[in-house]
Structure 1
Amino acid sequence: MYNEYENDKFFQEYAKMPRSKEGLSAAGEWHQLKPLFPPLHGKSVLDLGCGYGWHCRFSVENGAEHVLGIDLSRKMIEEACSRNPDNRIEYRVCGIEEYEYPENAWDCVVSNLALHYIEDIGQVFRKVYRTCKPGGTFLFNIEHPVFTAGVGQDWIYAEDGKPRYWPVDGYFLPGERKTRFLGCDVAKQHHTLTQIVMGLLDAGFEIQALEEAVPPEDMMGIPGMEDELRRPMMLLIKARVEKIKTD
């Protein structure tokens, strides 16, 4: 399966991003995502699309006993092993759709900015539900449907180069979207809000929190950050396996 993160040029540009260099503190959504984590002391955590392993590191720093981080990109896994090693963390080259999802195996499943690359997101939700222990948590951050439905995922600009508005088209037509990201052609998957929310509910989850990412005040001085208040870019959801599973 093709993966943009195996492209040398793309990977080099990705490495220059603040969140790549500085970790979670440089991620604009972290101030909202961090409080959604359940208590992790003594727990097991699965990270889907772990990237550099920042959330794996956060999990063990907060008491997790065992963490598995999977990512389709070998380059990402090599970087995770180098940047965030720990004997409680296992890193594995594996796609989100290819992982075996053993039944009742994990207390918490987390995924950050990876699920918008998945075509059949409902199937992944069902697999995550199966692999969560009763009472387990599924916490993820995905590109917002308004963002993925953006035409070219970019603004319409005025003559002076300032963003005029964010165009949305084909919202109710889920599927592949082509865009330019970090100077490379990237393919993502657009999912409607209904698909995401109802996919979780149909899988058996109880939704505990749903938030749209808003940049923190201390990042508003970064060029272009104020424009992030004009349309949502990320959707954060916390879901829980409430009932005792009998299947």
Structure 2
Amino acid sequence: MPSIQNVYDNPTFHEGYRSLRQTGTGLNDVLEQPALHSLLPENLIGLDILDLGCGFGDFVRYACNHKAASVIGMDVSARMLASAHQMTDDETITFEQGAIENLAATSFANQQFDLIVSSLALHYVADYRTAIIDIANQLKSGGRFAFSVEHPICTALAGQKWHKDAKGNDLFWPVDNYREEGPRHTSWFIDDVIKYHRTVETYVNGLLDAGLQLNRLLEPEPVKNAADAKWENHRRRPPFLLLAAQKP
């Protein structure tokens, strides 16, 4: 079994990621988070919610502010959880250090939830199918699971960049080894960050095989009239894949 990765506790990685998120203008903020919120139940009032890979606790606090009954934020990174604790003051919120691969070892292993979310965390998990089965088991009947990952077009070829012409203009985004699922070693703030590539087919069928019903699939894009031209390339190839499913 592959070891559980915890790059977010690396000081260099943590600082780079923290600085990126503090700007409030990254892809998480303008694309991924609005799309994830659109997959949530219309009303969070009274719901028991679990956030897997909660990071700085942004969604945990969002759910609390929208009157959830209880919210648990879990993350493998002690550094991320320390920051989340500093920014959070609400008795309905609980944080716990743990890995998605080890849900059975958490203090809430026997609890069930109305809503489970995971933002850009499952592409760090080697065994996606087992993780989805474990998550499905912790959903109440009628409960919803919504998550985001880096789009398989972006994870297929490790270290890929836009191919450019002689003047430096972006020509196309290369895609290769799409069907070859498994680890991709990349550089992001530090060297040798491992992300696991899998196809859209695997992401969707993993939900169906776990007994969940697919509700929605999103590949969010910037609005077509966005004033800032820097977002245009993200209409040419999707950076994120989001899925929502429900337990019968």
Among 88, 93, 96, the residue aligned to 1:92: 96
Task: Give the structure-2-normalised TM-score.
Answer: 0.89
How far 1:157 sits from its partner (Å)? 3.1
CA distance in 2, matches of 1:137, 1:84: 25
Q: Number of paired residues?
A: 240
Q: Counterparts of 1:1-247 in structure 2 under 5 Å?
A: 1-17=4-20, 19-22=21-24, 26-38=29-41, 39-100=43-104, 102-103=109-110, 105-216=112-223, 220-221=227-228, 224-242=230-248
CA distance in 2, matches of 1:134, 1:204: 11
Q: Secondary structure at the match of 2:56?
A: coil
How far 1:75 sits from its partner (Å)? 0.6
| Partner residue, 1:245 | none
Q: Secondary structure at the match of 2:19?
A: coil
Q: Which residues of structure 2 form unaligned runs of 5+? A: none
CA distance in 1, matches of 2:94, 2:207: 27
Q: Secondary structure at the match of 2:101?
A: coil
CA distance in 2, matches of 1:61, 1:91: 16
What amino acid is the match of 2:72?
Answer: L
Task: Note if contact 2:218-2:243 (Cα within 8 Å) is conserved in structure 1.
Answer: yes
Q: Compared with structure 1, are the counterparts of its residues 201 and 74 closer, same or farther at alpha carbon in structure 2 (3 Å cutoff)?
A: same
What amino acid is the match of 1:154?
Answer: K
How far 1:78 sits from its partner (Å)? 0.6
Backbone CA RMSD of aligned residues: 2.1
How far 1:79 sits from its partner (Å)? 0.9
Q: Compared with structure 1, are the counterparts of its residues 5 and 60 closer, same or farther at alpha carbon in structure 2 (3 Å cutoff)?
A: same
CA distance in 1, matches of 2:23, 2:90: 19
Task: Give the structure-1-normalised TM-score.
Answer: 0.90
Q: Compared with structure 1, are the counterparts of its residues 188 and 155 closer, same or farther at alpha carbon in structure 2 (3 Å cutoff)?
A: same
Task: Note if contact 1:153-1:179 (Cα within 8 Å) is conserved in structure 2.
Answer: no
How far 1:220 sits from its partner (Å)? 4.9
What amino acid is the match of 2:90?
Answer: D
Task: Note if contact 2:103-2:134 (Cα within 8 Å) is conserved in structure 1.
Answer: no
What amino acid is the match of 1:130?
Answer: N
- Per-residue CA deviations over 1:57-99 (Å, capped at 9, x if unaligned) read 1111111111111111111111111123321111111111112
Q: Compared with structure 1, are the counterparts of its residues 78 and 27 closer, same or farther at alpha carbon in structure 2 (3 Å cutoff)?
A: farther
How far 1:199 sits from its partner (Å)? 0.7
CA distance in 2, matches of 1:65, 1:51: 21
Q: Which residues of structure 1 form unaligned runs of 5+? A: 243-247
Task: Note if contact 1:66-1:89 (Cα within 8 Å) is conserved in structure 2.
Answer: yes
How far 1:147 sits from its partner (Å)? 1.1
